[in-house]
Amino acid sequence: MPDYDFKKIEKKWAERWLKDKIYEPDLSKAKKPFYNLMMFPYPSAEGLHVGNMYAFVGADIYGRKKRMEGNDVFEPIGLDGFGIHSENYAIKISKHPKEQAKVSEKNFYRQLQMIGDGFAWDEKLETYDPEYYKWTQWIFVQMFKKGLAVRRKANVNWCPKCLTVLADEQVLAGECERCGTEVIKKELEQWFFKITDYAERLLNDLDKIDWSEQVKTAQKNWIGRSEGASIKFPILKSDFNIEVFTTRPDTLYGATYMILSPEHELVQKLENRTQNLEEVKKYIKEAKNKTLEERIAEGKDKTGVELKGIKAINLANKEEIPIWIADYVLAGYGTGAIMAVPAHDQRDFEFAKKCGLPIKMVVCPHYPEKTCPVLDSAYVGEGHLVDSGKFNGLSSEEAKKKITEFVGGETKVQYHLRDWLISRQRYWGPPIPMIYCEKCSWQPVSEEDLPVLLPDTKDFRPTGTDKSPLATVEEFAKTKCPRCGGEARRETDVSDTFLDSAWYFFRYIDHKNKKKPFDKLRARKWLPVDMYTGGAEHAVLHLLYTRFLTKVFHDWGLIDFAEPFKKFRAHGLLIKDGAKMSKSKGNVVNPDEWIERLGADVLRMHLMFIGPYEQGGDWRDESIAGIDRFLNRVWNLGQKIKKEDGGSVSETTLHQSIKKIGEDIERLHYNTAISQLMILLNSLEKGPGKESFKTFLKLLAPFAPFLAEELWRETGEKESVHKSKWPEYEESKTKESVKTVVVQINGKVRDRFEASSGASDEGIEKEALGLQKIKDGLAGKKPKKIIVVRGRLVNIVL
């Protein structure tokens, strides 16, 4: 336990800061706005765990420095309280989600108060507040009106445990993002947001923003742009064509068969001509029953069935080639059909080997030598064309365009990104504000009728059908058509939680606005967000959706920028004993306990001292003692300085510290900033002086805001240390006047001496050669070369 009364101090300042509103910028008049945003938490379990604290403290330190540098820092907080995570927890403890939300809210805000972040509490918001979700619904209505929200039938992801559909982004390696259950496919009619319309911009604009490389790459991969060609293969004796997308049109002469995915529409259309229809139907049935995981697990053991009696024509060489159905071709990508080039695609190669299909090499790596290797795997590299009619000898790169033109194909760009499935068959979310009328089809709820309130029902549990629990609330579902006034029914699904969180940072800046989601002038002042901090696990979820909505808002004229966050940094993962913290492993660290025992300042600094913020680290109970000792020494020094003031600290150490700590905070290297604070304290203890101690307190303030404030006021200051001016350093004073010069012979240290930093190269060299140990080392030999690095070393090469 610290020597000082941290409980009293922390409580006192938390209340005082709130009263004095020191963290509340004037949102309409601020002169130097700086929006320091951190991902708001979702209240899913008993409370915040230490990983959340880690995230919030790191983000806050950055904001505190910006505030001391004279910025009007806005650091809002709220709760992402709607959604499956909160609802699942409520169900688990048998409580109504609405009731549980009240409990969680209180607990979460209590914890968030404790950690000493400079939150702007006046602007807090919760996504389940009707004042908030009114605008979430408003966004949905606009999306519909602009044609960006569409209802369509699709083969969608369904989580059998959460009993709802999921967006592609919420399926991780075939499993539900929330509960880890294997996801299955269902053919359902659902609402989608057309994020694919923005694929190109979402990809290109990544180059314009300062984000972690990790996250940018994840988004690039997810959007998955590939350039290629769209080529048609006519089906013999019919009007049908098989359209395929390929990135390798240069290998067209090597296409020896076609494959349709089991879900492909042509399969049905060709039924009456299929000679082995029974066999085909059986295969399709089996394929559809397989989960994604099973398909992947089968790996190289590819299966398929030929559509007997039907042939396609390869327009390049006019050859008739067979058509197969195989589940290694995915319905959801490209056209759901491929031209198979076994010689130059590994998957096609494996399939051809297994089914005895011809493998024809058309790109040769050794051209012009005719020594095409015998393949034991596909050759996927570049080369020159062979066996390709008039294109023989062309490089594969040149051939791509020419062959595409030759067969009447088109160059095409294909994306992996798919539309955002927005419907959820659950209770705890904003009802989708749409109404279905037999006569007028789908109509949006009139804007003046928003919000569509989530009804209080006892039957909030998921139904397990493809309908939300709201469908059972007749008085909710039954309504009038906003267009014709006739009998109509409401959409009873709610929207995805990720829609709630895709725009919350817009609402923070104007959260009391009754007329609009937010004011355009305020947005111009505060947005885009200057610094955003959060977990990297949202790389292709939240962070992609926010970018999408921002672009949409831009196109609607609500804002005049197209990227939400100028700078984004992902903090690392905090683990314990080398493993992710989890209740089942029993290695969860409870932050409340540590705050109780040692105080928030100690917890904050310990978390930040573990390792570089962006890298995360391994929590160890025992090493928190180091920070506890450190802050006690700070306290004791403060008491000492109250009585006696006279000593002075090394000016060089002081200026070096100001420089290093400032730069380290900027780089988010809080661990090394803290070690520099320790070095400065060591020095201060030897020569305590009030003025340098006050500088130290300013440098300490972002890390240990309570203690720094207490000691700052004890020096007689009337204003908060957090409103004081961040110290400046003089570059010249960071340099030592005398430096140790190392003298090496052949790169090995033999001696060292002190030299003034102004000494000339010649002088240093002379002094080095004059040293007795060096004379001994040289033993009369003549140096070949002497290297002098000023202020560092002399290397004598023999």
* Binding residue for RNA, selected from 478, 620, 642, 775, defined by CB under 7 A: 620
The residue among 678 and 771 lying less far from RNA, judged by its C-beta, is 678
Answer yes or no: are the C-beta atoms of 764 and 794 closer than 8 Å: yes
Range 552-591, binding RNA (CB under 7 A): 573, 580
The residue among 622 and 762 lying less far from RNA, judged by its C-beta, is 622
248 binds RNA (CB under 7 A): yes
What token pair was written down for 190?
């659902």
What token pair was written down for 154?
């699709």
Cβ count within 10 A of residue 413 = 11
Question: Minimum distance between the CB of residue 634 and RNA, rounded to whole angstroms?
Answer: 11
The residue among 514 and 748 lying less far from RNA, judged by its C-beta, is 748
Range 624-653, binding RNA (CB under 7 A): 625-627, 629-630, 632-633
Range 654-693, binding RNA (CB under 7 A): 669, 671-672, 674-675, 678-679, 682
* Binding residue for RNA, selected from 44, 414, 692, 720, defined by CB under 7 A: 414
421 binds RNA (CB under 7 A): no
Answer yes or no: are the C-beta atoms of 97 and 90 closer than 8 Å: yes
Residues 318-337: x where in contact with RNA by CB under 7 A, - otherwise, as a string: ---------xxxx-xxx-x-
The residue among 299 and 586 lying less far from RNA, judged by its C-beta, is 299
Residues 700-739: x where in contact with RNA by CB under 7 A, - otherwise, as a string: ----------------------------------------
Question: Minimum distance between the CB of residue 93 and RNA, rounded to whole angstroms?
Answer: 27
Question: Minimum distance between the CB of residue 396 and RNA, rounded to whole angstroms?
Answer: 13
Query: What is the phi/psi pair of residue 751, to 5°?
Result: -165, 175
Range 498-537, binding RNA (CB under 7 A): 536-537
The residue among 137 and 246 lying less far from RNA, judged by its C-beta, is 246
Range 72-91, binding RNA (CB under 7 A): none
217 binds RNA (CB under 7 A): yes
Question: Minimum distance between the CB of residue 629 and RNA, rounded to whole angstroms?
Answer: 4
Total residues in contact with RNA, by rule CB under 7 A: 84
Residue whose entry in the numeric block shows the structure tokens 């030299």: 755
In 3D, which of 713, 510, 700, 725 has the Cα closest to residue 116?
Answer: 700
What token pair was written down for 792?
């560092």
380 binds RNA (CB under 7 A): no
58 binds RNA (CB under 7 A): no
d(CA 16, CA 709): 11
Burial grade of 577 (CB within 10 A; 0-12, 13-18, 19 or more): exposed
In 3D, which of 597, 622, 626, 599 has the Cα closest to residue 704?
Answer: 599
Show the CA angle centred on residue 230, arms to residues 229 and 231, nearest 5°: 110
Range 205-212 contact pairs with CB under 8 angstroms and sequence separation of 24 or more: 205/547, 205/551, 205/562, 205/563, 208/563, 209/563, 209/565, 209/566, 209/567, 209/568, 210/566, 210/567, 210/568, 211/565, 211/567, 211/568, 211/569, 212/536, 212/568, 212/569, 212/570, 212/614
The residue among 417 and 473 lying less far from RNA, judged by its C-beta, is 417
The residue among 463 and 672 lying less far from RNA, judged by its C-beta, is 672
Answer yes or no: are the C-beta atoms of 80 and 40 closer than 8 Å: yes
Q: Single out the segment in contact with RNA by CB under 7 A; choices: 44-52, 446-454, 604-612, 687-695.
A: 604-612
d(CA 774, CA 654): 36
Show the CA angle centred on residue 145, arms to residues 143 and 146, nearest 5°: 65
- Whether a cis peptide bond, with omega within 30° of 0, leads into 455 is no
617 binds RNA (CB under 7 A): yes
539 binds RNA (CB under 7 A): yes
The residue among 22 and 742 lying less far from RNA, judged by its C-beta, is 742
Beta-ladder partners of 796: 745, 786
243 binds RNA (CB under 7 A): no
Question: Minimum distance between the CB of residue 640 and RNA, rounded to whole angstroms?
Answer: 12
Range 115-174, binding RNA (CB under 7 A): 172-173
347 binds RNA (CB under 7 A): yes
d(CA 580, CA 584): 11
The number of residues making up the chain comes to 798
Q: Single out the segment in contact with RNA by CB under 7 A; choices: 16-24, 39-47, 136-144, 298-306.
A: 298-306
Range 738-777, binding RNA (CB under 7 A): 740, 742, 744, 746-750, 752
